[in-house]
Amino acid sequence: MNKISIKSGKEKQIKNHHPWVFSGAIDRVNCTSPCICNVVDSNNNFIAQGYYDKLSHIPIHLLSWRENDVINDTWWENKVKESILRRKRILLNANNTNAFRLIFSEADFIPGIVADYYNGFIRVIVSSRVAFEIKDIVVKTLYDILKPNLILLNTDVNFCGIEGLKEITQYYNETGYFKPESKLNPIEFKEEGLLYEIVPGTGQKSGFFCDQRDNRVKIEKYCNDKVVLDAFSYTGGFTLHALRANAKQIDALDASNTALKSLLKNIHININNKIIDEGSREKVNTKVCNIFEEMRNIEENYYDIMILDPPKLAKKKSQVEGASRAYKDLNRLAMQKIKNGGIIATFSCSGGISLEKFKTILSWAAIDNNMEIQVLETLTAASDHPTRLAFPESEYLCGYILKVIK
């Protein structure tokens, strides 16, 4: 039997169903690599079953805490099916929203696999060695259940180095894996009644951030007849919601000119489909810039609403302190610049910064400005990005809607 023993005193987190075991917790290895193994405590008592790969930066991914489970292809197929069924409510609401997350890695008990659905197109991203091992099972199961027009799979370049994975891109349809003969056509999809377009395989992550879906709706109701700053706007999710709310003006800032071009295209798509007013384009100004620097230059008392949705600033624990300073500086400047009584919707997608930690950072920014801040709403990821209580890393997106009182 494949077996790995855990050092005495290192069992608590594993017994509490956290799915990662690092090398420092491993005492003895009695198996080859890679393999499915039993993980036992120092007294040889069963704790869990996991996937062991000595070449992974997380050598054991725990999969089941039941000794009788048989972890094989059928087991993985069932995990994919269960993940899809948990999204049944969203699937049934496809007339209003047909873009959402299907698989959220460890939060859905499938380590290192993220899958997003966009109106008949599925993007699968692989970020671990165990995920690479099961990728074909995942792709085939997704296809068999949902019958999409296309599945595009690729390895996450941010993890290829530490996981020792090749950078690959694969395409799958009813014929199996294939090589496209020409450039793929854009995919148009709907989220909360608004239309967007992505080109398969381009953009950050899977091409769109479904996790902010509920938050875009919440912020929309504050935007009527307001002057709005959409910082880190990407392809315009918050901008489109502000336009639908009849905002007076929106300034969209991003470091990517390509993203801003997509933002403008999305505006025109929604105008052409009579979802937003014909004059919406004239309300939007775009600027390619470093937002952290640009915040120092914007006019004071000009914006009614500021939306701050920066990219992940802390990708690992060692970066949390530096990221905290950056979040504080960004929000301190926003509080300085916004009108008295203005609204700031601010976010962190750094997993190492919890809601409480982020609230503390915002309080430091307010203290430095000698002003009062009211928290109006607390924001997290949409329900297709569930938080698994045993895996706090799955609660990565946090945010607040704030009122600034000077």
Encode pLDDT of 188-241 as tens digits: 999 999 999 998 776 566 578 999 999 999 999 999 999 999 999 999 999 999
Is the model's pLDDT at 30 over the cut of 80? Answer: yes
Asked if residue 190 belongs to a domain, the reply is: no
Q: Dihedral (C-alpha) 235, 250, 403, 233: value to the nearest 10 degrees?
A: 20
- Residues 172, 283, single domain; the answer is no
Helix, strand, coil fractions of the chain, as percent rounded to 5: 35, 30, 40
- Residues 336, 375, single domain; the answer is yes
- Residues 237, 331, single domain; the answer is yes
CATH no. for residue 89? 3.30.750.80
* Number of compact structural domains in the chain: 3
Is the model's pLDDT at 317 over the cut of 80? Answer: no
Strands 227-231 and 99-104: unpaired
- Residues 237, 168, single domain; the answer is no
**Confidence at residue 202, expressed as pLDDT on a 0 to 100 scale:** 67
pTM: 0.92
- Residues 378, 229, single domain; the answer is yes
**Confidence at residue 107, expressed as pLDDT on a 0 to 100 scale:** 97
The answer to whether 66 and 135 are in contact (CB under 8 A) is no
Is the model's pLDDT at 316 over the cut of 80? Answer: no
**Confidence at residue 201, expressed as pLDDT on a 0 to 100 scale:** 72
Q: In this predicted model, what pLDDT tens digit does every residue of 276-306 receive, in sequence order?
A: 999 999 999 999 999 999 999 999 999 999 9
Helix (H) or strand (E) holding 85: helix 73-85
Distance CA 37, CA 62 (A): 9
Q: In this predicted model, what pLDDT tens digit does every residue of 381-394 receive, in sequence order?
A: 999 999 999 999 99
Mean pLDDT value of segment 255-272: 96
Distance CA 308, CA 333 (A): 11
Asked if residue 156 belongs to a domain, the reply is: yes
User: C-alpha distances in angstroms, 126 versus 51, 139, 169, 247?
Assistant: 16, 11, 10, 39
Asked if residue 327 belongs to a domain, the reply is: yes
- Residues 340, 241, single domain; the answer is yes
124: containing domain: 74-178
Q: How many CA atoms lie within 13 A of 373 on its CB side?
A: 27
DSSP 7: P
- Residues 100, 247, single domain; the answer is no
Average pLDDT, the chain: 94
- Residues 286, 326, single domain; the answer is yes
Domain end residue (candidates: 159, 178, 197): 178
Q: In this predicted model, what pLDDT tens digit does every residue of 179-194 receive, in sequence order?
A: 998 888 899 999 999 9
**Confidence at residue 214, expressed as pLDDT on a 0 to 100 scale:** 96
Mean pLDDT value of segment 262-277: 97
**Confidence at residue 204, expressed as pLDDT on a 0 to 100 scale:** 60
Q: Which of 53, 63, 49 is nearest to 23 (CA)?
A: 53
The answer to whether 171 and 180 are in contact (CB under 8 A) is yes
**Confidence at residue 250, expressed as pLDDT on a 0 to 100 scale:** 98
What pLDDT band is residue 14 in, cutting at 50, 70 and 90?
A: very high
**Confidence at residue 205, expressed as pLDDT on a 0 to 100 scale:** 60
* Burial track 7-44 (b if 16+ CB lie within 10 A, e otherwise): eeebbebbeeebbbbeeebbeebeeeebebbbbbbeee
Asked if residue 185 belongs to a domain, the reply is: no
Better pLDDT: 60 or 203: 60
- Residues 100, 47, single domain; the answer is no
